[in-house]
Structure 1
Amino acid sequence: MKHKAILGLLLGLGLGLTSFAQELTTADAVVEKYLTAVGGKDKIRSMQDMTVTATTDIQGRTMETETKLKIPNKFKQTSYMMGNEAGGSTYDGTTLSRSMRGQTTTKQGQEAYQEFILNHPFPEIFYDSLKVEKKLIGTEKVDGKDAYDVEFASNGNTWHDFFDKESGLKVKRTTTTESPRGKMAAEFTYGDYKAVNGIMFPFTSSRKFGQFEMSSETQSIKLNKGIDDKQFKIK
């Protein structure tokens, strides 16, 4: 009996140490777990192009969006309201052109490229090459479950991503930006992850800006279907 009691104690200690070892202690480890959870870096880098269609509810009105992305540096997004084009943006690898309400603005160089990165579904694979700083802040409850809070910083901008401790998946992002009215906080949430060609994508998301809130639902994601570069030509 005595030997069994000692064995039980040792097994208990071993399980405790195993549980403790699973606690992530660095931002890099959290991001690595996330990239593994969504399919792994090799699978993500196998993406050559992507076409996403989604619908967004904006205070009772529905906006339809089509997003096309081609590796390494092309992007196009077009939005429609009631069947009419409401605006969009195109990045041809050099210039970003955005149109909205009849007005067109452009960006060049690194600023334009950063826009492409932000629209990539997994920008984390670029963070090291872009020298994005990462810091593990701690944990926080998101929808009643523990999530790692990681702070990112780049070019004077900071944001926080929250990764579910159990699954490793990204469940929330918070940002603070300067506006004419002062600092504006925004919150993004992600859910309903589904596999497409072995890669996990969130099929639902929501965005909150002050009192304004809108929710989106992905209708389809198509990968590696072959998108002609002409699709990204700026008129």
Structure 2
Amino acid sequence: MNRYGLLLLAALCVAPASAQAPKTAKSTTVVKSKKAAPPAKPVPPTGSALMSKHVLASGGAAWLDVQNFTAKGTISIPAQSITGTMEVFAKAPNKFAMKQNIKGVGESSSGFDGSVGWSKDPFSGLRVLSGAELAALKAQSSLSLRPAQWKGVYASAVLSGTVKVNGASAYKVKLTPKSGNPETQYFDVKTGLQVRSDQVVESPQGKIAVESYLSDYRTVSGVKIPFKTRQLLGQIEVTIQFTELKVNTTVDDASFVKPKE
């Protein structure tokens, strides 16, 4: 609320003409107060700054001490009463693999061994990945343990506003990768942690829009990792919950190599 100064008034006193000679009237100066300058509007952070803030919020330099991790968890599709198990393996600088076993569907897996990306499932069999599929897997492989290297994956990060994610304010950042489909990531205004991502995933069935909601962050060996991910693929909702995560354990390189036919 602006404050204004008081306007000062001066009065002229004139003696009776019969008693004194007329006096020259003194001039009156009106002093006007200056309005206080409005408070400066806060400058919104840049997309690049928000990406860097997320790296710091999730562990910063502690990520450099993480050479590998393994995780186990469950996967479920509540609307269809489908459940299963999953495992994730990651090893610096850029190896990544994931296995799933869904009841009634079977086993599926994918991986990147540092040069070759692959996928295997009951519907499409074993495939060597290329194009946008390979680009997405390579990005996941390099950033899973080294999030600070995001500039090597994305050509630009642009803030496009503030929205609500699960009732809390979040910055919306549009990312243009050097290869592959654009995506959008959302970062909690208070914590700086990523709480959502929107991606278009390439698959043998075509492009699939996926919304992922990240929560249940837990600190393991100095870094914060979301133990729960809720994904929306059209009308299908998938929930992934880690039950175990180990850092700097023994990870066999064979976990990332393309299986034999």
Pairwise TM-score range, normalised by the shorter structure: 0.7 to 0.9
What's 2:161 paired with? 138
| Structure 1 portions without partners, runs of 5+ | 1-12
Higher-Rg member (1/2): 2
Taking only the aligned residue pairs, the percentage that are identical comes to 29
- 1:54 aligned to which of 73, 84, 101: 73
Contact 2:215 2:229 survives alignment (8 Å) = yes
Q: CA deviation at 1:48?
A: 0.7
- 1:129 aligned to which of 136, 139, 152: 152
Determine whether 1:186 maps to 2:205: no
Amino acid at match of 1:151: K
The change in CA–CA distance for 1:187 and 1:223 in structure 2 (over 3 A counts) is same
The 5 Å alignment of 1:25-44 reads 25-40=45-60, 42-44=61-63
Once residues 110 and 207 of structure 2 are traced to their aligned partners in structure 1, the CA distance between those partners, rounded to angstroms, is 25
SS at 1:160's partner residue? strand
- 2:183 aligned to which of 149, 155, 159: 159
Amino acid at match of 2:85: E
Deviations 1:14-69 (A, max 9, x none): xx77xx66x642011111111111111x2112211110111111231211111111
Contact 1:192 1:202 survives alignment (8 Å) = yes
Q: CA deviation at 1:109?
A: 9.3
Once residues 121 and 169 of structure 1 are traced to their aligned partners in structure 2, the CA distance between those partners, rounded to angstroms, is 15
Count the aligned residue pairs.
217
Once residues 189 and 116 of structure 2 are traced to their aligned partners in structure 1, the CA distance between those partners, rounded to angstroms, is 39
> 198-207 vs 149-158, which deviates more?
149-158
Q: CA deviation at 1:76?
A: 1.9
Contact 1:94 1:109 survives alignment (8 Å) = no
- 1:98 aligned to which of 109, 113, 119: 119
Contact 1:78 1:85 survives alignment (8 Å) = no
SS at 2:48's partner residue? helix
The change in CA–CA distance for 1:25 and 1:55 in structure 2 (over 3 A counts) is same
Determine whether 1:116 maps to 2:138: yes
| Structure 2 portions without partners, runs of 5+ | 1-35
Q: CA deviation at 1:136?
A: 0.5
The change in CA–CA distance for 1:90 and 1:125 in structure 2 (over 3 A counts) is same
Once residues 184 and 211 of structure 2 are traced to their aligned partners in structure 1, the CA distance between those partners, rounded to angstroms, is 10
SS at 2:66's partner residue? coil
What's 1:77 paired with? 98
- 2:247 aligned to which of 208, 223, 226: 223
CA RMSD of aligned residues (A): 3.0
What's 2:64 paired with? 45
What's 2:129 paired with? 107
Normalising by structure 1, report the TM-score: 0.80
The change in CA–CA distance for 1:124 and 1:230 in structure 2 (over 3 A counts) is closer
Q: CA deviation at 1:144?
A: 1.5
SS at 1:138's partner residue? strand
The change in CA–CA distance for 1:209 and 1:193 in structure 2 (over 3 A counts) is same
The change in CA–CA distance for 1:230 and 1:174 in structure 2 (over 3 A counts) is closer
Q: CA deviation at 1:231?
A: 3.0
SS at 2:182's partner residue? strand
What's 1:6 paired with? none
Normalising by structure 2, report the TM-score: 0.73
Q: CA deviation at 1:113?
A: 6.0
Q: Which runs of 4+ in 1 moved over 6 A?
A: 178-183
The change in CA–CA distance for 1:175 and 1:32 in structure 2 (over 3 A counts) is same
SS at 2:139's partner residue? helix
Once residues 205 and 76 of structure 2 are traced to their aligned partners in structure 1, the CA distance between those partners, rounded to angstroms, is 25
Amino acid at match of 1:49: N
Identify, as 1 or 2, the structure richer in helix.
1
Identify, as 1 or 2, the structure richer in strand.
1
